Amino acid sequence: MKVLIACGGTGGHLFPGMAVAETMLRRRHQVKLLVSEKAVDSAALAVLTNGCGPSAITVQAVRAVGYSGWRQSIHFCGRLSQAVGDCARVCDEFRPDVVLGMGGFTSAPAVLAARWRRNGTRALIHESNAVPGKANRWAGKLADHVAVGVAECAKFFGRKPVTVTGTPIRAGLRAGKIAGAHERLGLRRERLTVLVMGGSQGAHAINETMASALPWLNECRGHTQFVHLSGPHDEAFMREAYETNGVEATVMGFCNQMELAYSAADLVVARSGAATLTEVAAFALPAILIPYPLAAGDHQWHNARVFERAGAAHVIEQSQLAGLHTTAGERLAESVGGLLRDEAQRHRMASSARSLGVTDAAERIAGLLEQYAY
């Protein structure tokens, strides 16, 4: 069968979509990806491996449509009309048996175009977050079925058929820890490793806070090292921060082998996007989560709370990083240092993270797609 997957705009949409695409290819189906025109999509697609890169999957960029408030309604409607037209043309050419939207305003026009086709093409959506975004709330009304990453999300879709599938992760991340990861990243195996990351494009606030925290981590200096995924704009800044403070670190603007970073890590400091949390759970890693405060519907805070309630993470809101008598760096250093000193707590948190892991989400979604296509 033919499957159209709309998944561009951010790594949180693209990578789960790619995971489903990998699975559909293994099941001998044809797959076409709809992505956005953003640079992040091009960069991510360029480094995808496992035989499922752009050469194996047809990829097409379409216009992404973002809603920024009622004052921009006319502009939004125009962009939406164009995007739906783009997707309708793709549907007419590719003739999919089923369409899957992975969330965001790249996928919503694809769902609408599918439903408007003559006789209507079946459409499903997947929502990774604990609270759905605007696009999926709207697309969910049109979709035949909704797949969600966590059970807490199901209540937002009313009487629509909902299946809790988990969030898909790519095959390379489902295989477990990689032997020799430390050596391949230039790390020492005998040291504790902290992985710091802010999502597919980095997070400037996390970078600045981590740089401020380094002077407060003196006691960890002799037995701790960092892998820091800074995003391209802060790479030089973070490398200098670690060098100035005499802290061993591997700093990368972008990592195309996340399985190595997760395999080497003993502790993660990260945002709380759904895709990131799914990967952290798959590798059973204790985490310090700093939700992005401007995420739509504050969904990153809700995602983080799921992990905090399970005992898998400590959550620090960005507004709490600096208090009346503390700096942002001191607050983060206190949390990082405390967990590095407490091996028993790290093990308990790792066990809790493992309990939240779902590694067959892509297969579950593939089963739903096959069910609705035939």
- For residues 185 and 140, membership in a common domain is answered with no
CB-count exposure of residue 32 (10 Å: 0-12, 13-18, 19+): buried
Average pLDDT, the chain: 88
Are 337 and 366 members of one domain?
A: no
240 shares a domain with 121 = no
Q: Are residues 368 and 296 in the same domain?
A: no
If pLDDT is split at 50, 70 and 90, which confidence band does 118 have?
low
Q: Where are the beta strands (DSSP E) in the chain?
A: 2-6, 30-35, 58-61, 98-101, 122-127, 145-148, 162-164, 192-197, 224-229, 249-252, 267-270, 287-289, 313-315
Residues 6+ apart with CB under 8 A from 46: 53, 54
**The domain spanning residue 123 has which CATH number?**
3.40.50.2000
pLDDT of residue 219: 83
Q: By C-alpha distance, which of 92, 163, 83 is closest to 125?
A: 163
pLDDT at 52: 47
CA distance 231 to 113: 34
Same domain, 191 and 261: yes
Q: Do residues 264 and 338 share a domain? A: yes
pLDDT at 356 over 50: yes
Same domain, 157 and 32: yes
Structure tokens at 270: 């990260």
Q: Which residues of 176-199 are buried (b: 16+ CB within 10 A; e: fewer)?
A: eebeebbeebebeeebbbbbbbbb
The count of domains in the chain is 2
Please give the average per-residue pLDDT across 220-228, as a whole number. 92
**Please, which pLDDT band fits residue 51 given cuts at 50, 70 and 90?**
very low
Residues 278 and 135 in one domain: no
What global pTM score does this model have? 0.86
The verdict on 329 and 213 lying in the same domain is yes
Same domain, 210 and 342: yes
Please name which of 131, 128, 192, 154 lies closest in space to residue 362, comparing C-alpha atoms: 128
pLDDT-wise least confident of 57-71, 158-172, 292-306:
57-71
* Alpha-helix runs per DSSP H in 56-203: 73-94, 108-116, 134-142, 171-174, 181-184
| Whether residue 349 is found in the same domain as residue 248 | yes
Q: Which domain holds residue 77?
A: 2-169+359-373
- List 287's β-bridge partners, or say none: 268, 313
Contact 149, 136 (CB under 8 A): no
In this predicted structure, the answer to whether residue 135 has a pLDDT above a threshold of 60 is yes
User: Mind listing the pLDDT tens digit for each residue in 308-323?
Assistant: 999 999 999 988 886 6
- The span from the CA of 285 to the CA of 227, in Å, is 14
Give the residue among 91, 92, 98, 102 at the shortest CA–CA distance from 372: 98
pLDDT at 76: 61
pLDDT at 300: 94
If asked whether residues 199 and 346 sit together in one domain, one would say yes
Confidence tier at 220 by pLDDT (50, 70, 90): confident
